[in-house]
Amino acid sequence: MSTSASPSAASAPASETSLRIAVAGAGAVGCTLAAALAHAGQPVSLLARGASLEAVRRNGLRLRRAHHTLHVRLPASDDAAELGVHDVVLVCTKAQDLPGIVPALAPLIGPDTCIVPMVNGVPWWYFQRLPGRLAGRPVRAVDPDGALLRALPSEQVLGAVQFLAAERLEPGVASSSNPMRIVLGELDHSESPRTARLAETFNAAGIESRVSSRIRDSLWTKIIANLISNPLSVITGATLDTLYRNPRLQPIVRKIMNECLALAAAYGARLDFDPASFAEQATRLGAIRTSMLQDSLAGHPLELAAIGDAVLELAELQNVPMPVTRDILALTHFRNDARHAANLSRG
């Protein structure tokens, strides 16, 4: 039975040792994290705009879970200067929106602020703070001119890999019925008090969180999951359960998976990854539409650069062939370009 907590009853009082957290972006992930954290008593501010900002100011923020609904009220603005400097900034925008939003984040970020990007795909920071022949290199597909590297100091960036099956139902309202999980880690694979403290904060809010000393291992798991499901879902219109159990799609899924695993190995990733178990877990999530399929159906830009093109860029750097993945991405780009052209002709 679904229950709805009132805004006053939903939030526990913040303590003096609570982290001041700003959530930038009011999409599915941003709304989910902001609602869960605020409901647990963390002081949370939301940087939003347009209809989302109006809805949150008017009605508060709602997160629908399996058996209940969280309803919270929190400070929200489209001007980061009104919100001020925070201890943590969770950047919850689409990867392609990062260059546009990063300049607006500056008033939220002080010298000790921890910046946590909750983005899909290969992040701009992938080659930062690690030794090797590719050290310090930008990922051109997502940061072509290095603007993100210059704007967001890598020593303040904390790696994060989120496993959230969330959907934005309407402005200010999100749904996430499955368990929420986040892996955190320093870019240089060191241990730090800030990582442990943020993981503790997430766990207290019902968001299962752990600290990894090899954050890129978890990142590769998410990269593989995204690349297997997102582009193919746009081409086929299939939900997660169909992608992994349909006999016509299963062979394509397996080929993409094998190509991705070979690339992850080339980058030294240590993955606890069993393809059969992974497919079974994805199928159990049910008729979930991938984030990219949701965007495609809504006519929004797709995260193809971060989820697909950046992976091919990394493959070229290691001379790892990915023919099936490349073809699926080409088809997805074609479909997206055709949709965009049709919209322009109608406009």
Alpha-carbon distance of 40 to 114, in angstroms, equals 20
DSSP string covering 270-337: -----HHHHHHHHHHT-SPPPHHHHHHHHTPPP-HIIIIIHHHHHHHHTT---HHHHHHHHHHHHHHH
Alpha-carbon distance of 160 to 137, in angstroms, equals 19
Instruction: Note whether 77 and 49 are within 8 A (CB).
Output: no
The one-character DSSP state at 170 is E
Instruction: Note whether 192 and 159 are within 8 A (CB).
Output: no
Angle at 240 between CA 308 and CA 299, to 5 degrees: 60
Any catalytic annotation for residue 222?
A: yes
Strand, helix or coil for residue 165: coil
Phi, psi of 25 (to 5 degrees): 115, 130
Beta pairing partners, 45 = 22
Catalytically annotated residue among 158, 222, 259, 329: 222
| Residues taking part in catalysis | 222
